[in-house]
């Protein structure tokens, strides 16, 4: 049973590699086909023009009679006929090449269709053998269980990071929208020039009114962002982990700051939003760096898992 399964696994791997090669070759084959098709259309256009010139010179007209008397007609007619013959040859060659290229593309597409979904087949066979291996009592089964546990941890970290990044991007969008709203409101109110003390008070009142709803939305998302960052597995205690933990605390601090009398603590213009926006951008950059480190680890563990399953 194991030998049969191993044979099917080997065959599935070969089919997957073949599928990848064919899939990679298809775009270039299609591009060559499209290029040759365009070239053929261009040749046909030039040929039609040359043939019209020949027909025009062969027709009886005063202009052709004058050209003939001047000794120019025959030479021009000869040149256009020669050009038409050359273009006919090029057209036939391009048409033949086009048919060959079209057949090549169709052949690749047919082979891809015939192979079906080898990735899914290979995955199913690996899952089947993995289940059989886990039921056995051997050293390979113990190593496989260890790999699966490490994979689950790594994938959990990836999910947490992806969630934190998604929330952080929402925070950034809301901060950018808030900065834009404040900027537009102040610009509109100040469009008429200096307003004096009373006018400035009115401007601030309008801008604060615009900011009220934005502040609540930003504060809510900042709290969620801080919670996501606190929930991350930062047990490695690297410089990157420590910076993420620090920025998580910063997010909580900004949330608390916004929960107070925001209008009384800020100047109520877009520059008030910039410090928070910069901190959120920094946090997103660190989270993306952390995610970049987790992804290769998952790939490595997955490769080890598949290699272990195949070699047993």
Question: Band of the pLDDT at 4, cuts 50, 70, 90?
Answer: confident
- Name the 3-class secondary structure at 175: helix
Q: Which one of 86, 120, 135 terminates a domain?
A: 135
Query: Are 144 and 129 part of one and the same domain?
Result: no
Q: Between these two residues, 122 and 214, which has the higher pLDDT value?
A: 122
Q: Which one of 118, 135, 152 terminates a domain?
A: 135
Q: Which of 22, 1, 19 is nearest to 120 (CA)?
A: 19
Please give the DSSP secondary-structure letter assigned to residue 224: H
What's the rounded mean pLDDT across residues 210-218? Answer: 67
Compute CA 18 distance to the chain's CA centroid, rounded to the nearest angstrom.
Answer: 25
**pLDDT score for 237:** 82
Query: Are 147 and 294 part of one and the same domain?
Result: yes
Query: Are 157 and 293 part of one and the same domain?
Result: yes
Query: Are 166 and 307 part of one and the same domain?
Result: yes
How many domains, in total, are found in the chain? 2
The CATH number covering residue 83 comes to 1.10.287
Question: Which residues, at least 6 apart from 308, have a Cβ–Cβ distance to it below 8 Å?
Answer: 140, 143, 144, 147
Query: Are 268 and 286 part of one and the same domain?
Result: yes
Query: Are 177 and 210 part of one and the same domain?
Result: yes
Q: What is the pLDDT of residues 151-193, one digit of tens each?
A: 999 999 999 999 999 999 999 988 888 777 666 655 555 554 4
| pLDDT of residue 298 exceeding 60 | yes
Query: Are 17 and 119 part of one and the same domain?
Result: yes
C-alpha to C-alpha distance for 160 and 165, rounded to whole angstroms:
9
Q: Between these two residues, 139 and 58, which has the higher pLDDT value?
A: 139
Query: Are 78 and 123 part of one and the same domain?
Result: yes
Query: Are 168 and 66 part of one and the same domain?
Result: no
Distances from the Cα of 222 to the Cα of 24, 41, 259, 265, 280, angstroms? 44, 59, 11, 18, 9
Q: What is the pLDDT of residues 302-312, one digit of tens each?
A: 999 988 888 87
Query: Are 177 and 108 part of one and the same domain?
Result: no
Give 132's Cβ-side CA count (13 Å radius).
Answer: 15
**pLDDT score for 46:** 92
Query: Are 109 and 187 part of one and the same domain?
Result: no
Range of the domain at 168: 139-311
The CATH number covering residue 273 comes to 1.20.120
Query: Are 34 and 122 part of one and the same domain?
Result: yes
Residue-by-residue DSSP string for 240-277 = HHHHHHHHHHHHHHHHHHHHS-HHHHS-SSGGGTHHHH
DSSP H or E run through 235: none
C-alpha to C-alpha distance for 152 and 157, rounded to whole angstroms:
9
Question: Is the distance from CB of 251 to CB of 279 less than 8 angstroms?
Answer: yes
Tokens encoding 288? 């993306």
Q: Which one of 106, 135, 164 terminates a domain?
A: 135
């Amino acid at each position: 049973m194991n030998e049969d399964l191993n044979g099917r696994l080997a065959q599935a791997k070969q089919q997957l590699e073949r599928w990848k090669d064919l899939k990679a070759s298809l775009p270039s084959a299609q591009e060559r086909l499209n290029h040759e098709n365009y070239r053929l259309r261009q040749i046909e256009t030039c040929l039609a023009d040359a043939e019209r010139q020949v027909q025009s010179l062969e027709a009886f007209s005063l202009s052709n009679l004058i050209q003939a008397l001047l000794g120019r007609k025959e030479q021009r007619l000869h040149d256009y006929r020669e050009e038409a013959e050359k273009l006919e040859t090029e057209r036939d060659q391009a048409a033949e090449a086009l048919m060959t290229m079209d057949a090549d593309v169709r052949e690749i597409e047919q082979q891809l269709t015939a192979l079906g979904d080898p990735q899914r087949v290979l995955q199913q066979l690996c899952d089947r053998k993995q289940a059989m291996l886990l039921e056995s009592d051997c050293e390979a089964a113990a190593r496989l269980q260890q790999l699966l546990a490490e994979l689950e941890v790594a994938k959990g970290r990836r999910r947490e990071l992806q969630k934190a990044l998604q929330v952080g991007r929402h925070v950034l969008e809301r901060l950018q929208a808030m900065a834009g709203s404040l900027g537009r409101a102040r610009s509109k109110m100040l469009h008429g020039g200096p307003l004096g003390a009373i006018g400035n008070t009115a401007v601030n009142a309008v801008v604060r009114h615009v900011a009220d709803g934005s502040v609540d939305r930003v504060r809510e998302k900042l709290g969620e962002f801080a919670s996501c960052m606190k929930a991350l597995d930062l047990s490695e205690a690297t410089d990157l982990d420590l910076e993420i933990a620090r920025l998580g605390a910063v997010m909580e601090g900004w949330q608390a700051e916004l929960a107070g009398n925001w209008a009384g603590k800020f100047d109520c213009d877009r520059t008030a939003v910039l410090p928070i926006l910069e901190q959120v951008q920094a946090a997103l950059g660190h989270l993306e760096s952390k995610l970049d480190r987790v992804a290769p680890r998952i790939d490595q563990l997955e490769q080890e898992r598949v290699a272990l399953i195949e070699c047993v």
